Chains A and B, each alone.
Chain A
Amino acid sequence: GESVGLHLPTLSVQEGDNSIINCAYSNSASDYFIWYKQESGKGPQFIIDIRSNMDKRQGQRVTVLLNKTVKHLSLQIAATQPGDSAVYFCAENINDYKLSFGAGTTVTVRA
């Protein structure tokens, strides 16, 4: 079964506001985490990743935060745009050949 889960299944955000998507993981041995974005009818696309020796990593308009103490991962999207509407998945690599995916959060951007 999947060991990564999300706190909220849906998120509605006003265009221009910041979005925060949360994810809880259960395996304390996980050492690599990824956020994916999946638009309707398409395959998931890599957004950003972070290793367990870091607690923050920034990309273009996105930031991933990792709190290993409480086994929590979050994705922050700055100045959310209509094109950010999608399903977002967190995933953890538990140091073998597999990623374990969460159920996904659907983000809807309101104009």
Chain B
Amino acid sequence: SQTIHQWPATLVQPVGSPLSLECTVEGTSNPNLYWYRQAAGRGLQLLFYSVGIGQISSEVPQNLSASRPQDRQFILSSKKLLLSDSGFYLCAWSVNTGYGYTFGSGTRLTVV
């Protein structure tokens, strides 16, 4: 069966520090991968998605970047965190278009 792993679960980082969140999927090949951010009490905002290794599409201009160094690995990064980067970050995967996503357990990022 397929599983998605996302870590860390919580993270407190100072303003100006770098960020690296990792997401891996097991049990499938060539998944579509997604990074979402969720502000407190709000909906889900798509940040990046990837349909293959090295292929990254950005949805909104921001202080973050994404990379897909391996088929089932998706990384969200920042060189210098801002206070506004605080939020709940969710990784998700899907097999094909026309199917739903499976979400990871999320990372709660607090920038102080």
Chain A residues with a Cβ under 8 A of chain B: 2, 31-32, 34, 36, 41-46, 49, 89, 91, 93, 95-99, 101-104
Do B49 and A89 have beta carbons less than 8 Å apart?
no
| Docked complex Cα distance between A93 and B32 (Å) | 14
**Which of B6, B42, B44 is packed against the most chain A CB atoms within 10 Å?**
B44
Distance, CA A46 to CA B94, complexed state (A): 12
B105 within 8 Å of A (CB atoms): yes
Given A49-B100, A93-B97, A99-B101, A44 and B49 contact (CB-CB distance below 8 Å): no
B25 CB to nearest A CB, Å: 13
User: A45: nearest residue on chain B (CB-CB)?
Assistant: B103
Contact in complex: B43, A43 (CB < 8 Å): no
CA distance A25 to B26 in the complex (A): 33
B42: A residues at CB distance < 8 A: 103-104
A-B contact count (CB 8 A): 56
B interface secondary structure, majority: strand
Q: Does B102 contact A (CB under 8 A)?
A: yes
Task: Determine if B105 and A43 form an interchain contact, defined as CB atoms under 8 angstroms apart.
Answer: yes
CB-based contact A34/B43 at 8 Å? no
Name the interface size band of chain B.
20 to 34
List chain B residues, Cβ under 8 A from A49.
100
Given A43-B105, A97-B51: A2 in contact with B97 (beta carbons within 8 A): no
Q: Are A98 and B106 in contact (CB under 8 A)?
A: no
Q: How far in angstroms is the closest Cβ of chain B from A108?
A: 14
